[in-house]
Structure 1
Amino acid sequence: MSDEHAIGFMDSGVGGLTVVKQAIKQLPRETVTFIGDQARLPYGPRPSAQVRDFSWQMANYLLKQDIKMLVIACNTATAAALPDLRQKLKIPVIGVISPGSRAAIKASKNHRIGVIATEGTIKSNAYRDAILAKYPDAEVFSLACPKFVPLVESNEYRSTVAKRVVAESLQPLKTTGIDTLVLGCTHYPLLRPLIQNVVGPNVTLIDSGAETVNGVSFMLDYMDIANTSATKRYPDQFSTTGSATAFATIARDWLDQPAFEATHITLGGELA
């Protein structure tokens, strides 16, 4: 039976669009309902209890749109809130950390895996734990890159400033001998060319968000909740707690949708 309800995606800002981009490509019949909490980003430096609260507010907003599945398109929120949301919601909830970890193990030949992410995700050890649980012999090199999210959110991800910041931030990975690097924040794929340039062509970059959409596709089939009708009846919807104009500027470029529109919404305590 066809289920035409939307899939909900939530993130701290525009980073979740890297997951949405894959979803539009791989699942063209599915409707996307997205919320980015730009007013309160970055999530990385925040205490995990606060990230959990913010995640609940986003999840509740999406539940009111009658979604059939929730994708936490944010690594910091996945680390802080996934078990909690899974326990409390009746719909499937998918995070980005497990798919990214699985893909990294599969891609690595020398079992030396790098992870770059926000401070919150690195502090949680979520990637390290997920990788070592599946492959205890792996060596994991974790590095927080707090300057990356502001670069993307200020639409400077193609600038010379970005080039310098990425080169400086990734310096500690130079001597680790990694052959695989997990982009452990959904904002980071927008910096992918710069990151690849610094780590070199022999390091495989893993886009956790893109890997997550494979899991979404599997879950839609497994739960029998895919939209199997010939067309997509409902339009995609994008909301942000920040500037709808700033959000749309990046989204038009990244999603290659010149007519893209976003709506500003309020979730409460925006400046918390």
Structure 2
Amino acid sequence: MSYPTFSEISTGLTWMDHQEALNLLYQHEVLNHKLIWACARNHDLEAYALPDRQGCLLWDPRHQHMRVSVLGEHAQFPASFLQEAALLEGPECAMQKIVEAHPNENSSSRTSLIYTLENQDLQMDREFRRLRPDDVEVVNWLIQFNAETRGRTLTRAEVLKMLYASYREFYILEHRQKCAAVAAVNRWTLHYQSVSFVYVPPESRGKGFGRRLMASLSAFILQERKKNALLFADPDNAVANVLYQSLGYQVAGKHVSVLAGGQGQDAERRGPSAEHQLL
């Protein structure tokens, strides 16, 4: 089945190859972290430059998913953006302009804080280690994680595929030789590596395991990977935000997802901010 290209439904855009798109996105590496990763890994995406090369647009023709970056203050957007795309996402500076220029009362949005961490004196806990094949309880944890934060139930096969993806590594904090919390490092760019899937099961919450895990994982990224740490957080999750800030994380910007016309809300209702469950 063929899908129309974005050039067929919008004007004022210039097609780019992936390397050109990556070069533009790298100008604002932190805010464009998710876009850089999508562009680098998914060559089914189509890439376009906004007029006067003031930004980059990544278009998924199959799912009508659009990711937008803005590099200048006066970037212009085709009027058909909200009409044609079911889901839009990008840095707040880009998304705010689109929504303000083309208001749609049927659209809904979700905002995530983008945190970064640099040059902090953190230590790796002696009970911090990489996930092992015998850590079987983690499979159920990730099923619970997706049910709690993403509103969907994964099969064991789907979770195992997630656990052993080549671009993602899961780490564990132990307590009395049992797993107490889990988290992953995955997307990386030139200077940053991101943290996601932070989960403490209900029976282990409120005991400081989330903090110990996050401190260890952050130290691992800074000291072993020689990169800065990055994560996305729900602005309404007060517990998680206090924790990140206490470890030295600072807000570098915001990431916004817009569901045009209410489409795809079941699949995307958690947004990028619900990758952490620390309560």
Same fold (TM over 0.5): no
TM range (shorter): under 0.3
More strand by share: 2
Instruction: Tell which has more relative contact order, 1 or 2 (C-alpha 8 A, sep 6+).
Output: 1
Q: What TM-score do you get using the length of structure 1 for normalisation?
A: 0.27
Greater Cα radius of gyration, structure 1 or 2:
2
More helix by share: 1
Q: What TM-score do you get using the length of structure 2 for normalisation?
A: 0.27
